[in-house]
């Protein structure tokens, strides 16, 4: 009732005035709204952003401290866990080697299947102690024929390799892996190594990693580092390399060294099959099936080990469309998983309080949610608005200097060769923040596209295999892109908003110079809005279901 009375008084005050006074009193009302509503609301948003910034800063300090301790005290994997190299025994044969299963899930990715299958078949592990599974979920029959033919070729050379195909994609990758584990011959295996179709392990991969699992029964997973063969393809791949190098160098290393937990990356890792079974096996309740399995195994008491010294060659998305679809899955699914596992983690009795706090606060809340929501809210909303409302003051060190220093230090340690791209990286990450934040909320609230899966487009040896690729399905070879795929209206709208704020700051700002950064951000948002990053989208057989 108070609000209604106040509104009536204001209306009577305006309407009861002469025509000449109305414009002036409307201006007064707008000034009161600005003073008592907009400015306080903007301050609240600013304080909220400062709180999120504090969480991010604490997380960054935490990662840096643990990383430095690991480096100073040389707490490498072979110092923390028992490791004995498996030696070839000419008399005993291959009895010292455990039976290992290698799984390669494929779904229409004809550009790279030869590389991954060939690398797996060249692993220096006794042939009678190795089973390679090619799990084909391809929807195109020509692709299936090509992959099956390649599998048969290696089988004829004496490799123990099997071809398993499905006529549906239920559960996507998790469904294929689960069906592969249900085969009778898998019951004899002790460990399973998983490689996505664009991954190429070195021949000694198993010899350098399996012994950790053999001699440390508490370990359920060994994860290795990804090395990107196409990092220099374009600016987009260079910027992705910087983000992922930081992920492996800090997040995975700290999780492994300090807490015995991190998220399985879905490829380039080896699971103890008993640990997988104990955790309930593969589940497709989210499209983060790898992270889901990691959480469930950790809650059963299993520990994980990250081996940064072992690197597996892989490929980065080189088109912005492929990168966007990958990022949607990488941010939507963990947010959905966080929502699903929040209570099970909190009430679990097998996990220490230290590990629980790490999983809930550091691993999920700060890295998977807070970080990207903060970037969008602060740099794309609050900071531009402070130019229009100078009553709300933001310290320059908190707005620009501190984030740049943090990003620079991360780059120096993570990807030193890309230090000169640090500003590009900051601007690109901000330009991607809308898509990531949207994906996070889709996952948290389980909106329509929560379980959407788009196979990430690969290049591989497509140039050398052009004839085969084109023959697979000519319909997917068209290079023209639909207008709606190339023009992203939300990013362009944000760019226009920031441009307006930046121009206002340029012409009327006296004390604040944030508009300089704003105008740079407009450039990257515009490039993102017109999908100008990366190489031209190569044709692929990726399915969208």
Q: How far apart are CA 141 and CA 104, in angstroms?
A: 18
Burial of 50 (0-12, 13-18, 19+ CB in 10 A): middle
Q: Kindly report the backbone phi and psi dihedral angles of residue 104, in degrees, each rounded to the nearest multiple of 5, phi listed first.
A: -125, 95
For residues 41 and 386, give the distance between their C-alpha atoms in angstroms, rounded to a whole number: 12
Q: What is the total residue count of the chain?
A: 545
CA–CA gap between residue 224 and residue 426 (Å, rounded): 27
* Active-site option among 137, 196, 198, 292: 137
Whether 181 and 192 have beta carbons less than 8 Å apart is answered as yes
C-alpha 106/C-alpha 116 separation (Å) is 10
Is the CB of residue 472 less than 8 Å from the CB of residue 307?
no
Q: Is 278 considered catalytic here?
A: no
Distance CA 78, CA 108 (A): 39
Active-site residue flag, 128: no
Q: Residue 384 to residues 136, 160, 381, 442, 530: CA-CA distances in angstroms?
A: 49, 61, 6, 26, 22
Spatial distance between the Cα atoms of 531 and 487, rounded to a whole number of angstroms: 7
Spatial CA neighbour of 80 closest among 264, 290, 222 = 222
Cβ neighbours of residue 208 closer than 8 Å, sequence gap 6 or more: 307, 309, 310
Do the beta carbons of residue 103 and residue 192 sit within 8 Å? Answer: yes
Single out the residue of 61, 55, 53 nearest to residue 378, CA to CA.
53
For strands 303-314 and 161-165, give the pairing: unpaired
CB 311 within 8 Å of CB 245: no
**Could you tell me if residue 261 is left (phi over 0), alpha (psi between -120 and 50 degrees) or otherwise beta?**
beta
- What does the block give as tokens for 180? 């592969």
Would residue 74 be called left, alpha or beta, if left means φ above 0 and alpha means ψ between -120 and 50 degrees? left
Q: Considering only CA atoms, which of 251, 201, 203 is closest in space to residue 226?
A: 201
Closest CA to 149 of 114, 102, 104, 199: 114
- Match 């994980």 to its residue by tokens: 304
Contact 211, 253 (CB under 8 A): no
455 closest CA partner among 544, 363, 375? 544
Exactly one of 202, 245, 290, 292 is catalytic; which is it? 290
The strand pairing partners of 305, in sequence order, are 222
Q: Which residues are catalytic?
A: 137, 290
């Amino acid at each position: 009732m108070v609000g209604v009375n106040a509104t009536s008084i204001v209306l009577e005050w305006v309407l009861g005035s002469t025509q000449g006074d109305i414009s002036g009193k409307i201006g007064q009302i707008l000034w009161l709204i600005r003073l008592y509503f907009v400015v306080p609301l903007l301050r609240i948003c600013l304080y909220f952003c400062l709180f999120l910034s504090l969480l991010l800063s604490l997380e960054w300090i935490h990662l840096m401290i643990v990383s430095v301790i690991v480096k100073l005290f040389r707490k490498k994997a072979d110092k923390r866990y028992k490791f004995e190299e498996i030696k070839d025994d000419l008399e005993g044969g291959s009895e010292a080697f455990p039976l290992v299963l290698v799984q390669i899930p494929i779904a229409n990715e004809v550009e790279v299947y030869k590389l991954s299958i060939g690398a797996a078949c060249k692993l220096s592990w006794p042939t009678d102690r190795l089973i390679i599974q090619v799990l084909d979920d391809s929807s195109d029959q020509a692709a299936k024929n090509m992959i099956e033919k390649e599998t048969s070729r290696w089988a004829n050379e004496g490799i123990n390799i099997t071809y398993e195909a499905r006529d549906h994609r239920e559960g996507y990758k998790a469904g294929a892996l689960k069906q592969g584990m249900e085969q009778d011959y898998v019951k004899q295996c002790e460990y399973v190594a998983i490689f996505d179709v664009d991954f190429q392990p070195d021949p000694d991969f198993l010899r350098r990693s399996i012994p950790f699992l053999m001699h440390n029964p508490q370990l359920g997973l060994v994860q290795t580092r990804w090395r990107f063969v196409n990092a220099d393809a374009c600016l987009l791949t260079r910027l992705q390399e910087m983000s992922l190098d930081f992920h492996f160098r800090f997040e995975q290393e700290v999780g492994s060294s300090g807490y015995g937990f991190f998220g399985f990356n879905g490829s380039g890792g080896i699971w103890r099959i008993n640990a997988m079974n104990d955790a309930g096996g593969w589940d497709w309740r989210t499209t983060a099936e790898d992270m889901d399995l990691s959480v469930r195994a950790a809650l059963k008491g299993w520990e994980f080990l990250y081996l940064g010294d072992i690197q597996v060659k892989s490929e980065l998305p080189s088109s912005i469309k492929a990168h966007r679809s990958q990022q949607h899955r990488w941010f939507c699914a963990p947010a959905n998983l966080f929502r699903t596992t929040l209570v099970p983690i909190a009430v679990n009795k097998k996990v220490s309080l230290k590990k629980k706090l790490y999983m809930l606060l550091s691993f999920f809340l700060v890295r998977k949610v807070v970080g990207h929501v903060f970037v969008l809210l602060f740099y794309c909303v609050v900071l531009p608005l402070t130019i229009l409302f100078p009553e709300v003051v933001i310290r320059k060190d908190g707005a620009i200097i501190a984030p740049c220093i943090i990003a620079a230090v991360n780059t120096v340690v993570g990807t030193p060769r890309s230090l000169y791209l640090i500003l590009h990286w900051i601007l690109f990450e901000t330009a991607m923040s809308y898509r990531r934040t949207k994906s996070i909320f889709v996952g948290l609230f389980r909106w329509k596209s929560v379980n959407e899966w788009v196979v990430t487009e690969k290049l591989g040896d497509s140039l050398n295999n052009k004839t085969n690729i084109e023959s697979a399905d000519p319909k997917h070879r068209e290079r023209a892109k639909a207008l709606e795929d190339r023009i992203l209206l939300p990013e362009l709208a944000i760019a226009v908003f920031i441009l307006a704020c930046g121009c206002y700051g340029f012409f009327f700002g006296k004390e604040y110079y944030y508009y300089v950064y704003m105008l740079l951000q407009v450039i990257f948002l515009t490039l993102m809005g017109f999908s100008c990053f990366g190489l031209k989208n190569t044709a692929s057989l990726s399915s969208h279901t």
